Amino acid sequence: MIFKVMCMKFPLFARSFVLALACSALLLLGHAAPAIAQEASTEAQIPAKTPDSDAVKAEAEKADVTDNKAKETTPAKVAGEKAANEAEQGKLLEPKQDNEQAKDARPQEEQPAAAYEAHEQPVIGMAKDWQLGMMPAASPVQERLISFHHGLLILITVISLVVLVLLIYVCVKFSAKNNPVPSKNAHNTLIEIIWTVIPVLLVIAILIPSFKHLYYMDHSEIEGKADVTIKIIGYQWYWNYEYPDAGFAFDSYIVKEEDLKPGQPRLLTVDNEIVVPVGKKVLLQITGGDVIHSWALPSFGVKMDAVPGHLNETWFQADHLGIYYGQCSELCGVNHGFMPITVRVVTQEEYEAWLEAAKAKFS
């Protein structure tokens, strides 16, 4: 009844209520869409059955058997061909062995590079069209941040509903029709205490988990426990990455649109990627070489300013294999939007192979 009266007397309220319902429905759909899309992609990747493949294979085996029988029926011809080619095979045997030895004697650093390049990783850490919500979490830090975000979303929703109910109650209770003689009260001590104490308690309830997350994100969480250390220097307009434990460094520039290969995203692809092993703690030492930049990777929950003359530290642990993208998040000049970040997460064996190839390439 109250809702009907409010809609009749306050059309703007009715429109706002319908808009709020529509936004809530879109939000729920956005949270459910990634799971539905993942199930659809999984079903699409299942190979289709080929019932005729067994028959084709059987026919091929029969044809091979027939050819073998035809060859067995002419042993004299086979023996003649074998004798005719015996001398030539003897001459070619020794060079063939030399070639095999030369093949085995190739530099070892080439083999890991080839093995690493042959393995493709799925693209996970990248925004999608019509995406609602955050990118999927790929590190413990981002999982905590998303959980904290969802908790705050529930809290502010409850607060908004309580305020909305109070507004409706005030509009109906103290309308000109229901309350023709307005009250002359100017103060109410109890109400003033309530609307002062409750917000303070809510802020404290938000403050405690927020500080816990900040300390967890600090580099002291993995002090002395880092498996990989990467020093990052931001320049106008590219990144320099150094692996101090491995003894090499390299620059990472954006790949121009005309040089992109099929499947590479525009404005996010770089010529030299960061490679880290899955499940390992990576310590990041970030600074700037000219102006202030910001190294940000949403899927890992990392966003740290690169300030010239100051070394900031943070960390992440990639829990899933794949390719993750980020960008500079501090306005640093005319080409600020052309400083992408690409991190490739691989297995420990692939990471060791990449290290050997990178040492030979960048040292």
- Residue whose C-alpha is closest to residue 137's, from 315, 325, 302, 301: 301
Tell me the chain's radius of gyration from C-alpha atoms.
Answer: 33
Whether residue 49 has pLDDT greater than 80: no
Whether residue 58 has pLDDT greater than 70: no
Query: In angstroms, rounded to a whole number, what is the distance separating the alpha carbons of residues 272 and 239?
Result: 10
Question: H or E element: which one contains 328?
Answer: strand 322-328
C-alpha distances out from residue 135 to 34, 127, 326, Å: 10, 6, 11
- CB-CB contact of 282 with 317 (8 Å): yes
- Angle at the Cα of 79 (from 77 to 84), degrees rounded to 5? 95
Give tens-digit pLDDT for 201-234: 999 999 999 999 998 988 777 878 899 999 999 9
Please report which confidence band the pLDDT of residue 119 belongs to, taking 50, 70 and 90 as the band edges: low
Between 355 and 183, the higher pLDDT residue: 355
Instruction: Please state, rounded to an integer, the average pLDDT across all residues of the chain.
Output: 77
Give tens-digit pLDDT for 255-314: 999 999 988 899 999 999 999 999 999 999 999 999 999 999 999 999 999 999 999 999
Whether residue 251 has pLDDT greater than 50: yes
- Angle at the Cα of 178 (from 175 to 179), degrees rounded to 5? 75
Please report which confidence band the pLDDT of residue 21 belongs to, taking 50, 70 and 90 as the band edges: low
Whether residue 193 has pLDDT greater than 60: yes
Between 64 and 224, the higher pLDDT residue: 224
C-alpha distances out from residue 363 to 145, 223, 243, 283, 341, Å: 38, 27, 11, 21, 22
Please state, as a whole number, how many other Cβ atoms lie within 10 Å of the Cβ of residue 223.
Answer: 11
Give pLDDT, residue 187: 83
Burial status of residue 32 (CB atoms within 10 A of its CB: 0-12, 13-18, 19 or more): exposed
C-alpha distances out from residue 2 to 9, 24, 287, Å: 11, 22, 59
Query: What topology does CATH give the domain 220-362?
Result: Immunoglobulin-like (2.60.40)
Mean pLDDT of 307-329: 94
Q: How many helices (H) and strands (E) does the chain have?
A: 8, 11
- CB-CB contact of 306 with 293 (8 Å): yes
Mean pLDDT of 39-55: 40
Helix, coil or strand: residue 205: helix
Give tens-digit pLDDT for 141-173: 999 999 999 999 999 999 999 999 999 999 998
**Residue listed under structure tokens 């109650």:** 169
Please report which confidence band the pLDDT of residue 20 belongs to, taking 50, 70 and 90 as the band edges: low
Mean pLDDT of 42-67: 43
Please report which confidence band the pLDDT of residue 26 belongs to, taking 50, 70 and 90 as the band edges: low
- Across 161-320, the runs of DSSP E, i.e. the strands, are 228-235, 238-243, 248-252, 274-277, 281-288, 293-297, 302-306, 312-317
* Tokens read off for 226: 């880092």
Give pLDDT, residue 39: 45
- CB-CB contact of 318 with 278 (8 Å): yes
Give pLDDT, residue 181: 85
